[in-house]
Chain A
Amino acid sequence: MCESGEFPGSGRGTEPACWEAVPADPAHFPAIRRELGAWAAGTGADAARVEAIMLATYEALANVASHAYDSSGVVEVHAHVPTESRVEVVVRDRGRWRPPSTSSADDSAPGGRGLVLIRSLADHVEVSTGAGGTTVRMVWNR
């Protein structure tokens, strides 16, 4: 999605933005959400959409930091505009967090409230978990 050499926040207009090999440590997340917010605004998204993208992505990162790894690991964020009418953000880790069932009434389960936010803030969400890790794909239609 992102060619090597691109750096965070380099996206302009519909250019993708990527954050690779980010330590799954909450200390790194505020900078990413701000850079992602700037990128999203650059795609022409309105303020509410930018806010939704920032919060949903932050919650996906928070899940990784909370549940994906025993000690340390990395996470990547890819943001792009696959078609003129869509914004897509993918958060991928190599860990083993299991997304809580959203059918459960217990939204206080670890990650439960965050996932409720993600599913409500994005127009479309896919969570796929496998041996290689977990991918959260969030799509916003314009």
Chain B
Amino acid sequence: MDQRERSLARVACCGIVAPVVTSDSFVQTQGAEPAALSTAVRWHDTTAVVTVVGEVDMLTAPQLDEVLAEVLDRQPAKLVVDLTEVGFFASAGLSALVAAYQQAGGNTALRVVATNSATVRPLQITALDRKIPVLPSVDEAVSGG
């Protein structure tokens, strides 16, 4: 376990006690509903799972960029980006995944979990799913090769 995470909150998840880093941002639009994105990072040994909840667009993608870069800096063997709870995924989000793919290089196996059309369609249309394996569940992404 990374020493830098000792100060972080510990929660039980899925039978595994893991440090959790969460960050919420609400990008306020003028007089309208905010575009909200929250991310959480969990470590299972050398695998990092980044859970993304909300909408990934021009406003919120930089936050995803930042989280993925920070996690990849720690050189996990595998990084799973869970987009199950993402309801809108624009090209800015695809760019964030491409940047992560490039940063991961040969050091980190990058996986995406996507189950709804809002995320699966953009990944398929741009053929990014041919570069980054897209799986239907976190369990499969974590345990698979």
Contacts and interface: CB of A to CB of B under 8 A. Distances in A.
B143 interface: no
B32 interface: yes
Interface residues of B, number: 27
A77 B29 CA distance: 18
Given A55-B122, A113-B94, A29 B58 contact: yes
B122 A117 contact: yes
A31 B32 contact: yes
B69 interface: no
B32 A58 contact: no
B91 A114 contact: yes
Interface of B is mostly: mixed
Interface residues of A, number: 26
- Looking at B32, B59, B98, the one whose CB has the most chain A CB atoms below 10 A away is B32
Contacts of B121: 51-52, 55, 121
B29 A62 contact: no
Interface in A43-68: 48, 51-52, 54-55, 58-59, 62, 65-66
B65 to A, nearest CB: 15
Contacts of B57: 26, 29-30, 58, 62
B2 to A, nearest CB: 32
Interface string A118-135: 001100000000000000
B59 to A, nearest CB: 5
A interface: dominant SS: helix
B79 to A, nearest CB: 20
Given A55-B122, A121-B125, A30 B90 contact: no
Contacts of A117: 90-91, 122, 125-126
Interface string B77-107: 0000000000011111011001000000000
B92 A55 contact: no
Interface of B: 27-35, 55, 57-59, 88-92, 94-95, 98, 117-118, 121-122, 125-126
13 contacts: A27-B27, A27-B28, A27-B30, A28-B29, A28-B30, A30-B55, A33-B88, A51-B117, A58-B57, A108-B95, A113-B91, A113-B94, A120-B125
Interface of A: 26-31, 33-34, 48, 51-52, 54-55, 58-59, 62, 65-66, 107-108, 113-114, 116-117, 120-121
